[in-house]
Amino acid sequence: MTPSRTQASSSADLVARYLQAVGFWLPRAQKQDILDEISEDLRSQMEDRESALDRGLSEAEVAEILKKRGRPLFVAGQFLPQRALIGPALYPIYVFVLKIVALCYVVPWLLVWVGILLFHRAEWAGHLSGEWHSLGTLWTVVFTQFGIITLIFAAIDRVSVKSPGVSDWDPRKLPKLRVETASKRRCNSVATLVFAVLGLLWVLAIPDYPFLIVGPAAYFLKAAPVWHVVYWAIVLLAIASIFEHAFILARPQLTWFPPTFRIATTLLSAWIVGALLHTPTYVLPASPKVAQVAGIVNLSILICVAVWAVCLIVGLVVYGWQAFREIRRALQPTALHLA
């Protein structure tokens, strides 16, 4: 007896959704190999079950196999390094929470600190002791939060081992499979290209219409000379963005091009940031009455430039790794990779 095509398709979709859920918690470097191993193990169990029943498996029977295999989070944890304090089941989400805390609290606090330090670099020696004291306070808070989060997860790990919810779950309630079709990718590329063109037009209009960037403040604030130095580099970045998205739209199969091209645009952005960091003055007051407002705007812009600098460093590392990975894949055309 053979299963119907609809039944087989439903079972395959259920397995794909399960692998997708497991893959969410896996590190990218080992993700493909681990998913292949889990997929092969599941396929072997399903084939053995079909042989024993002498028929194809129903969706409910496939779900039962997945349920016995374990929750996706716990299965992913089995392939990660074993920890004494926090078990493999909760370790992936523990790391995930730590990353969220770092991104939403530690990084913004540190960037503001760097921006203020840069803004006061003319009086750097006088402010140094106070700034270092505030940085020490930050690390105290960071280590306190790290300790609290670790203790909470350690307690949850001890309780969850005995919890019936570990095995009481329904694989059929897993999120739907995310499939990006070629038409959807093309629509996204066209939309991105249109926005890139609009961005270039916006940049070109700024010299004649400064209201477009600072709003009503254009009536009492003027651009400092540094913007005349970096303006055409910013225009070149906008043109490069149009070229990048047009090329991706025309040749989407060349996956090595986007990260490689972005390395070049990131270096150009780094030159712009370097020029901006050489001065603390970005706007000039039209009259002495708004000098304090100009000072606040200058500080805000400097902090944004400092954040931009950090993002460029991170981006350069990410794009470099992506370019290396995609070029290596391009040199191995016979290799198969999970999308």
Q: What is the largest CA-CA distance in the chain?
A: 89
Two tokens at 306? 């400092």
Residue carrying the six token digits 């705007």: 297
Which helix or strand (DSSP H or E) is residue 221 part of? strand 221-223
Q: Give the helix ranges, DSSP H, for 161-278.
A: 182-205, 211-214, 226-250, 257-277
Stated pTM of the model: 0.57
CA dist 15 and 62 (Å) reads 8
Q: What is the DSSP letter of 162?
A: T
Domain boundaries, the chain: 5-71, 91-173, 182-330
**Contact criterion met (CB below 8 Å) for 233 and 271:** yes
From first to last of its 339 residues, the chain has per-residue pLDDT tens of 445 556 667 778 888 888 888 888 787 777 888 888 888 988 888 888 888 888 888 888 888 888 888 888 778 777 766 555 676 667 777 777 887 877 776 666 666 666 555 555 444 444 444 544 555 566 676 777 778 887 887 777 666 655 555 556 667 777 776 665 666 677 888 888 899 999 999 999 999 888 888 778 888 889 999 999 999 999 999 999 999 999 988 888 888 899 999 999 999 999 999 999 888 889 999 888 888 888 888 888 888 888 888 889 888 988 999 899 888 888 875 443 443
Q: How far is CA 262 from the centre of its chain?
A: 16
* Total residues found in the chain within this entry: 339
Q: Give the helix ranges, DSSP H, for 27-106.
A: 28-53, 59-69, 72-78, 91-101
